[in-house]
C-alpha cells in the first residue's frame, strides 16, 4: 500500500514539474493595445432570407467609428497599391476632417434629446445610441428572421409605456407593419433609418446616410417633447 502511495506521489510531483517547466517555456502574452481593440469586429443586424438559404449581416468595427473604417480601407489600398499610398493617405485626412466637423453638427442636433428612450427592430443601432446618448429600451424582433411572438410584443409595449419611448427605428428590409402595430398602441412614431448608403434616395454617401438618420431622429424625438 505504501509503495502504491509513493508511486502516486512521484507521478503527481512529475506532473507538477512538467507543468511548471511548460509555463516557464511559454512566451509571455503581449498586453492588448488600443490598436488591437480597434481591429476587433462584430456581426450585427443578422437577417435570414425567407427561404432560409441566405443570411445578411453587417460586419462592423468594435466601436462602430467611421474613422476606423476609413482608415482600414485606406491602409489596405495603400498595401495593394503602394504607388498611390500618398493619395489614399491624403484622402483619409480629408475624410477625417469632414467627419469631425459633421460629428460636431450631428451632436448639436441631437443634444436636446440625450437620454431619450428608443426602440429598435434588432440590436442594430447600439453604436449610434452610445455616440449620441440615447437609450435602447427594447427590440421588436429579438431573434433575427423569426417573427416576434405576441407575448414579446406585449412586453415591448409595456417597456415603451413605462419608459416613455416614443420612436421606433426600422431599416428598409425590416417588417414595418410590426413596428406600426406597436406604434399605434404606444403613441410612438416609426422612423425609417437605413444604415447602408444608397438604401433610400438621397443617401448615396456615408455623410448623406448619417444626415438622413440624424435628421429623422431629431424630427421624431422633437415631435414628442
Q: How far is 126 from 112, CA to CA, in rounded Å? A: 19
The CA distances from residue 191 to 54, 101, 171, 217, in Å, are 26, 25, 8, 7
My answer on whether 89 and 190 are in the same domain is: no
| pLDDT score of 70 | 86
My answer on whether 57 and 157 are in the same domain is: no
61 lies in some domain: yes
90 lies in some domain: yes
69 lies in some domain: yes
| pLDDT score of 51 | 67
Average pLDDT of the chain, as a whole number? 81
My answer on whether 100 and 133 are in the same domain is: no
Domain that holds residue 92: 34-104
Interval 143-172: pLDDT, tens: 777 888 999 999 999 999 999 999 999 988
Q: Does pTM surpass 0.85?
A: no
My answer on whether 211 and 117 are in the same domain is: yes
Share of the chain above pLDDT 90, in %: 47
| pLDDT score of 34 | 46
| pLDDT score of 168 | 95
Positions of the chain with pLDDT lower than 50, given as ranges: 26, 34, 37-38, 62-63
Amino acid at each position: 500500500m505504501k509503495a502504491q502511495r509513493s508511486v502516486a506521489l512521484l507521478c503527481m510531483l512529475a506532473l507538477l514539474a512538467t507543468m511548471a517547466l511548460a509555463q516557464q517555456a511559454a512566451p509571455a502574452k503581449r498586453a492588448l493595445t488600443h490598436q488591437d481593440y480597434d481591429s476587433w469586429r462584430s456581426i450585427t443586424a443578422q437577417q435570414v432570407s425567407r427561404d432560409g438559404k441566405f443570411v445578411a449581416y453587417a460586419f462592423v468595427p468594435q466601436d462602430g467609428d467611421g474613422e476606423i473604417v476609413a482608415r482600414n480601407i485606406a491602409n489596405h489600398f495603400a498595401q495593394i497599391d503602394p504607388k498611390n499610398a500618398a493619395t489614399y493617405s491624403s484622402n483619409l485626412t480629408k475624410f477625417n476632417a469632414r467627419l469631425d466637423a459633421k460629428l460636431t453638427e450631428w451632436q448639436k442636433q441631437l443634444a436636446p434629446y440625450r437620454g431619450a428612450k428608443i426602440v429598435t427592430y434588432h440590436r442594430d443601432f447600439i453604436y449610434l445610441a452610445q455616440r449620441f446618448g440615447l437609450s435602447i429600451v427594447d427590440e421588436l424582433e429579438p431573434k433575427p428572421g423569426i417573427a416576434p411572438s405576441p407575448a414579446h410584443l406585449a412586453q415591448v409595449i409595456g417597456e415603451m409605456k413605462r419608459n416613455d419611448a416614443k420612436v421606433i427605428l426600422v431599416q428598409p428590409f425590416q417588417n414595418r407593419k410590426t413596428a406600426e402595430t406597436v406604434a399605434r398602441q404606444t403613441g410612438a412614431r416609426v422612423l425609417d433609418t437605413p444604415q447602408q448608403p444608397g438604401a433610400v434616395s438621397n443617401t448615396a454617401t456615408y455623410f448623406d446616410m448619417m444626415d438622413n438618420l440624424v435628421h429623422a431622429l431629431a424630427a421624431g424625438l422633437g415631435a414628442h417633447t
